[in-house]
Structure 1
Amino acid sequence: MLEKKSIDYEKAVLVGVINQAQDESKVTEYLDELEFLTYTAGGEVEKRFVQRVEVPNPKTYIGAGKMEEVERYVNENEIGAVIFDDELTPAQQKNIEKILRCKILDRTGLILDIFAQRAQTSYARTQVELAQYEYLLPRLTGLWTHLERQRGGIGMRGPGETEIETDRRIVRDRIALLKKKLAKIDRQMETQRGNRGALVRVALVGYTNVGKSTLMNVISKSDVFAENKLFATLDTTVRKVVIGNLPFLLSDTVGFIRKLPTQLVESFKSTLDEVREADLLLHVVDISHPNFEEHIDSVNQILGEIDSMDKETIMVFNKIDQYTAETIDEDDLVTERTSAHFTLEEWKNTWFNKIGDRALFISALNKENLDEFRKRVYDEVREIHVTRFPYNNFLYPEQLDEY
């Protein structure tokens, strides 16, 4: 159970579907993540609804019987929001709102809401606002249904449509304005990056909530905001770090997530320039998560979208202090042994076989194996530095006294 603070949480229910693309265990995992997203956004999940369907209903996403069940629960328990695990079409969202008469969100809308809460700088707020408007544009018709009910139908359809078209034009103009503003900020940030000189650049990447900011704080001795919530960090943070006698730039970037909205990938591509321009990537992974390998695939997919898959990368398996393997009784001859039963040592061997010495196992929180981590980062950065400045050599000290 998630720890609840003494604040008012909005009551919410979650809805997901089981189909050929995602079995029951996968849906449970996705809804666990959706519940964490809901908690991060300020909601408290009261119940989950799951239906097995071959294809989501094009009108209401779930079938009529399941929708009646959801409607009954919403009415009886004063639910404020119903959140769907997949992105709804504008038509589905409009139809569901008519039936349930409460706030309807999908995973995309929820992530956008969290991003809007978390954005601190003008740059991040502009990126989020652009993503929100692009998400909103095809859904404007649904937002006007309350006016249609107030005015009545006959004789009032024309003005309603005119108002919608006016609003669409305003939104399109706003999108164009935000894109121009982002382009201007991008040029400014490009200049800033150029002014940093020829220092080697290292970027932390990874799934959301894997401990990137905690690792950043430990390495750079800085105070980057870190919290056990999804998307605690939105704004890219860059720090100058010195290991031994070798300086380099370390950046902490926004965390990735499965089913990341297309609008956000597009809007935040400029933020991810820190990743694109990095000389070395530290791909941080929460090894204590039961499906961390899928998280790796999700991150790699987005790295591919921003043309960064071919960069030098070290896999940093974090949270080894929290890792636990499922155990099988010696007398159990039925249960099949899977990767869920791997010991930490077995995982190490597995990844060493996959990528050789490009894997490190640490705990940023408890500072386990950090000396090995610093030594490896130093060696990698030094190799890049020597290639760039062949006449400027650095020697690795016997001990990193400053740490």
Structure 2
Amino acid sequence: MFERPKSGQQAVLVHLELPGADYASDRQEFIELAHAAGASVLSVIGGSRRQPDPGLFVGSGKAEEVAASVAEQQAELAIFNHDLSPSQERNLERLLKCRVVGRGGLILDIFAQRARSHEGKLQVELAQLQHMSTRLVRGWTHLERQRGGGIGLRGPGETQLELDRRMIRDRIATLKRHLEAVRGRRAENRRARQRNETPVVSLVGYTNAGKSSLFNALTADDSFASRQLFATLDTTIRKLSLPTVDQAVLADTVGFIRDLPHDLVAAFRATLEEAREADLLLHVIDVSDPERMARVEQVNEVLEAIGADTVPTLQVFNKIDLQPDRLPGIERDAQGRPHRVSVSALSVTGIGALREAIAERLTPDSHQAFSLRVPARAGRLRAQLFAHRAVRAEVLDDQGAFQLQVEMDYPRLRGLCEAAGVTPPPAPGEVEDWEREGVK
């Protein structure tokens, strides 16, 4: 056993090529992650295996090579670009005589540095504690000692390990209560937007695809944006100005990445729900990235994991300034609906076309004409219909009610009427059915 060092940034990186992985792109992303965490990379040790070794992940021969590199360069930690089990981390630390960090721990460390808001810090702390709770038995010799001695403390006592576990369990329970309250506030805000019929557009995408820069270009905001992994973590919501849509909001969410730790996804549930509850997702894709299609699949996997895979999506090919042969504009699907928009958030090229595409995707196809009687008491419903630009004609009858000719999609019209306590017009086809049955 050894006493783990409490600090240190001098790192040896270990990256194995496993079946089905792209070695070059994964290796480069791994190095960028290490730099983002503040590590000084001394060397990168590569290799390949058909499957991970149960005890050391890399196998005994490769582990000895890593140990020699750590000793020669006096590295303070070894970072593996793979998820390691607690026993693998423990075995590697015994052999390498330095701290060992897996991919999940590395990403958690970056999130801990980036979190700025109170909510973000709570989410990261929860993820870290959940990650740590399975990894307490390590090289810390004090964890085996019993708490005892002194008046009132003699007897079998409680081991330090048990104390640490209990303290972590208590803190996790407290954090979950706080985050559940945060989740409740977010849900109430979403309900308020739904009552006001405010459509929500949410940005999603692989980290460093340019989401925050696009957010700033669409909202004229000055939120922090930088060309680095996980530049921003905290969800930001701003008003979004669109043609033909009176009001809408845009939400910028945390970036995704391959093998995003499950603890992190669970902790950021309240934040990620902004994507799941959105009316439209803007999937931002770095068009200059040669691995962009693999990134798209990885983002889609995370969206499926959080239940957002059924939300309508508009792809945004960003950074076309890095590809001179790609022109800004809208690409449409077989039904003529906007499917993809090419833009440059940095030079604000194609942003107007993107606004038009968003507005078109938020406008339902099934607009139909209906006659509706709105009593004087339901003035809010009348105002909402005018806000939706759905009123085509209006006449005031003898009872002071408004006879309206409206044009909009039926499900939304029925929902507005029911919320206002007004009888909605018959659904399309209902009148014909009644006449067919002889009902006048």
TM-score, with normalisation over the residues of structure 1? 0.81
Structure 2 counterparts to residues 79-90 of structure 1, below 5 A: 79-90=75-86
Give the aligned partner of residue 10 of structure 1: 9
Q: How far did 1:323 drift?
A: 3.3
Amino acid at match of 2:85: T
**Residues 196-205 or 137-146, more deviating:** 137-146
Give the aligned partner of residue 270 of structure 2: 270
Q: How far did 1:161 drift?
A: 8.2
Q: How far did 1:317 drift?
A: 0.6
Structure 2 counterparts to residues 94-133 of structure 1, below 5 A: 94-133=90-129
> 2:112·2:121 contact (CA, 8 Å) conserved in 1?
yes
Measured in 1, the distance between the counterparts of 2:225 and 2:157 equals: 46
Amino acid at match of 1:55: Q
Amino acid at match of 1:173: D
- The equivalent position to 1:166 in structure 2, one of 155, 159, 163, is 163
Larger RCO, structure (CA 8 Å, separation 6 or more): 1
Measured in 2, the distance between the counterparts of 1:391 and 1:164 equals: 65
Give the aligned partner of residue 294 of structure 1: 294
> 1:209·1:255 contact (CA, 8 Å) conserved in 2?
yes
| Cα deviation 1:22-71 (Å, max 9, x = unaligned) | 3xxx1222121111111111113222112222221211111222222211
Q: Give structure 2 stretches of 5+ with no counterpart.
A: 1-7, 146-154, 369-380, 391-440
Measured in 1, the distance between the counterparts of 2:220 and 2:19 equals: 47
> 1:386·1:392 contact (CA, 8 Å) conserved in 2?
no
| Cα deviation 1:239-265 (Å, max 9, x = unaligned) | 012234732100000000001001011
Measured in 1, the distance between the counterparts of 2:336 and 2:308 equals: 17
Aligned pair in 2 of structure 1 residues 371, 139: CA closer, same or farther (>3 Å)?
A: same
Structure 2 counterparts to residues 28-67 of structure 1, below 5 A: 28-67=24-63
- The equivalent position to 1:190 in structure 2, one of 179, 187, 193, is 187
> 2:338·2:361 contact (CA, 8 Å) conserved in 1?
no
Amino acid at match of 2:344: S
| Cα deviation 1:283-306 (Å, max 9, x = unaligned) | 100111111111111111111122
Q: Give structure 1 stretches of 5+ with no counterpart.
A: 1-8, 150-157, 325-342, 396-403
Aligned pair in 2 of structure 1 residues 146, 94: CA closer, same or farther (>3 Å)?
A: farther
Amino acid at match of 1:193: R
Structure 2 counterparts to residues 121-270 of structure 1, below 5 A: 121-145=117-141, 162-196=159-193, 197-244=196-243, 246-270=246-270
| Cα deviation 1:92-140 (Å, max 9, x = unaligned) | 1111111212221111000000111111111111111111111001100
Alignment partner of 1:271: what SS?
Answer: helix
Measured in 1, the distance between the counterparts of 2:237 and 2:178 equals: 22
Give the aligned partner of residue 354 of structure 2: 373
> 2:338·2:357 contact (CA, 8 Å) conserved in 1?
no
Measured in 1, the distance between the counterparts of 2:342 and 2:232 equals: 23
Give the aligned partner of residue 338 of structure 1: none
Please state which structure has a larger fraction of its residues in helix: 1
Alignment partner of 2:41: what SS?
Answer: strand
Identity percentage over the alignment? Answer: 40
Measured in 1, the distance between the counterparts of 2:291 and 2:37 equals: 23
TM-score, with normalisation over the residues of structure 2? 0.74
**Residues 279-288 or 380-389, more deviating:** 380-389
> 1:13·1:46 contact (CA, 8 Å) conserved in 2?
yes
Aligned pair in 2 of structure 1 residues 298, 218: CA closer, same or farther (>3 Å)?
A: same
Measured in 2, the distance between the counterparts of 1:57 and 1:181 equals: 40
> 1:93·1:104 contact (CA, 8 Å) conserved in 2?
yes
> 2:18·2:49 contact (CA, 8 Å) conserved in 1?
yes
Aligned pair in 2 of structure 1 residues 192, 205: CA closer, same or farther (>3 Å)?
A: same
Measured in 2, the distance between the counterparts of 1:365 and 1:18 equals: 35
| Cα deviation 1:178-204 (Å, max 9, x = unaligned) | 111111121122223333432111101
Give the aligned partner of residue 285 of structure 1: 285
Q: How far did 1:321 drift?
A: 1.5
Aligned pair in 2 of structure 1 residues 314, 247: CA closer, same or farther (>3 Å)?
A: same
Measured in 2, the distance between the counterparts of 1:216 and 1:115 equals: 20
Amino acid at match of 1:372: A
Alignment partner of 1:138: what SS?
Answer: coil
> 1:11·1:80 contact (CA, 8 Å) conserved in 2?
yes
Alignment partner of 1:123: what SS?
Answer: helix
Alignment partner of 1:239: what SS?
Answer: strand
Amino acid at match of 1:113: D
Amino acid at match of 2:351: L
Aligned pair in 2 of structure 1 residues 56, 167: CA closer, same or farther (>3 Å)?
A: same
> 1:148·1:160 contact (CA, 8 Å) conserved in 2?
no
Structure 2 counterparts to residues 275-354 of structure 1, below 5 A: 275-323=275-323, 344=326
> 1:242·1:248 contact (CA, 8 Å) conserved in 2?
yes
Aligned pair in 2 of structure 1 residues 355, 316: CA closer, same or farther (>3 Å)?
A: farther
Aligned pair in 2 of structure 1 residues 191, 385: CA closer, same or farther (>3 Å)?
A: farther
Alignment partner of 1:74: what SS?
Answer: helix
Alignment partner of 2:304: what SS?
Answer: helix
Larger radius of gyration: 2
Give the aligned CA root-mean-square deviation in angstroms.
Answer: 2.9
Measured in 2, the distance between the counterparts of 1:259 and 1:130 equals: 18
> 1:275·1:281 contact (CA, 8 Å) conserved in 2?
yes
Give the aligned partner of residue 19 of structure 1: 18
Q: How far did 1:21 drift?
A: 3.3
> 2:186·2:270 contact (CA, 8 Å) conserved in 1?
no
